[in-house]
Structure 1
Amino acid sequence: MFSSGNCSADGLYLRARFTPLAIALFNKEPGAAEVPWHQDLHYWPLEPMITISAWLAIDEATVENAGVQIVPGAHKQVIPHVKAPPEMLFRQMADPNYISTQPLSTWNSNRVSSFCSMNRHFTVRPPIPRIIVGSVWQSGSQFR
């Protein structure tokens, strides 16, 4: 079972000290697999699950060019994950019954955006080459 952490503005994230856990460079070729809706806490073997991911938009990140899309405010609960279709990049995805149709975030170039492990996010199949710089920062936990 995953602990839910606390992603609120007045919560633990702003009071805790964070250390880098992972830094990654993602190369997404045109037509690469879509990343389904998911919450990162289902993929990191950590306890407690208190992490922040940071993404740097090297160029403009939009819905059309496969930028990371986030539903603002959708970080308040852990949602179940189910088996993803084979054409998706991940084997599991957020249960579609828990995904709303609220507006999605996009980012301008040279902007760093951060979100906690409970934010629901995804990317569509990229129509152009995409290079993504991502990092995960963690507060005082250990691998499960």
Structure 2
Amino acid sequence: MAKHPQAVAIALISLVVLLGTPAARRLGAQSESPPATEDSSDTTAVERGKYLVHHVAMCIYCHTPKRSDGSLVEADLLRGAPMPVKSPFEQQRWALKAPSIAGLPGGWSENDLAHFLETREPPTEHMPRPPMPPFRMNPEDAKAVAAYLKSLR
């Protein structure tokens, strides 16, 4: 049995969600290279953050509503969505909805979000519930993700 069954379950569910949506298949077919890693300007950081949110961390698949065919509702990009799966663990409740993360709502600043993505330490007592993955991003990537989400106001 795995030492961390919750992490295994999260990884499997993320894979199912990613492979099970037509939009994900279209994204997977694209050969898109990531933006440069050197963030010499705010624009570069925002573009890198967009790449990370859409193609690496894949935040869009939980935090964006989907149509009945599984495609994303682009008009509501990252504005929150109901969770399509239930926890495989009876003792652990999962979030019923992925919250809106566009524009950094909830009182979190760019620095708050970047710190959370680096350390998994939230700025408040509220800890995001599974299936939110336990990201441990490097500082540059965490800041880029925060810059992109802030730009979506």
**TM-score normalized by structure 2?**
0.25
Greater per-residue helix proportion: 2
**TM-score normalized by structure 1?**
0.26
Greater per-residue strand proportion: 1
Which gives a bigger RCO, structure 1 or 2 (Cα 8 Å, sep 6+)? 1
